[in-house]
Amino acid sequence: MTFVLTAGSAVAFAAPDLTEALKKDGGGPAAYLHQFDQKDSPYYVHPDFYRMKSHGSLLLLSHYRTHQQETEYTCGPAAALTVADYYLGKSPHSEMEIARIMETHPWGMEDVGTNTRGMVRYFTGMGWTVHSSLTDGSPETYEAFVAFVKQNPSQGIPIMVENVDWGGHWRVIIGFDSLGDDKGANDVLIMADPYDTTDHLQDGYGIVPSQRFYYTWFDAKLFRPGEADRQWLTAVPPQKLKKGTH
């Protein structure tokens, strides 16, 4: 039994201690933070998403801190940690503590990584209000997806999503911009990415074509049948709900 101190209470989670197994992969992108950055990249631009605010057609969660995952398998716990940071100022748990609660599995084990059930388990265990693809379904069209994305950041709610990026990867949608038209081709998602190593600045933020994300919103058969397509969840702590801010 693992006992974890949450904000104001001790919560007991029955979960295997996989810490050592999870750390045997070489440290993940956190181990080489900013080592491969390219100053003044000729191919990528890097807006200051931390300080930027919603304006015009842009919806954005300002001051959203990012985090680079500590292993090759803990994108889910790392994404969840940023959500806890966003709401609470600082997550009550480390990435590896979250991984134990979520029962994250390293390579070589069945159900590798962190499935949606594990993601939900972490937040419900803290008493947060959780909505997810497991219970609420998922957008069936791109138009419905856009409406879904706009609804959450406009209420201050980040959306954790998993898709085939890297074969299967959890990220957090923190913003959306249509660039002022309704054609869809110009739509972009702003994401907090715990494995941000391919855009020449490892700041944890990514700009993703919204349509491309929607049509690749599945994983590479990592999750069980019925839980591999259009996986997402939102989680809001009770103190935020009581204040009426979300």
d(CA 112, CA 119): 13
CA atoms in the 13 A half-sphere facing the CB of 85? 18
d(CA 174, CA 190): 6
Residue 223 is predicted with a pLDDT of 81
Determine phi and psi for 58, rounding to 5 degrees.
-85, 125
d(CA 246, CA 238): 10
Angle at alpha carbon of residue 134, lines to 94 and 217, rounded to 5°: 85
Q: Name the residue with tokens 């954005």.
A: 60
Q: Are 196 and 174 in contact (CB under 8 A)?
A: no
The pLDDT tens digits along the chain (246 residues) read 333 333 333 343 444 444 454 455 557 999 999 999 999 999 999 999 999 999 999 999 999 999 999 999 999 999 999 999 999 999 999 999 999 999 998 877 777 789 999 999 999 999 999 999 999 999 999 999 999 999 999 999 999 999 999 989 999 999 999 999 999 999 999 999 999 999 999 999 999 999 999 999 998 777 878 888 999 999 999 987 754 444
Which domains does the chain show, CATH number per domain?
49-236 (3.90.70.10)
Q: Which two tokens stand for residue 194?
A: 């715990």
Residue 43, number of CB atoms within 10 A of its CB: 7
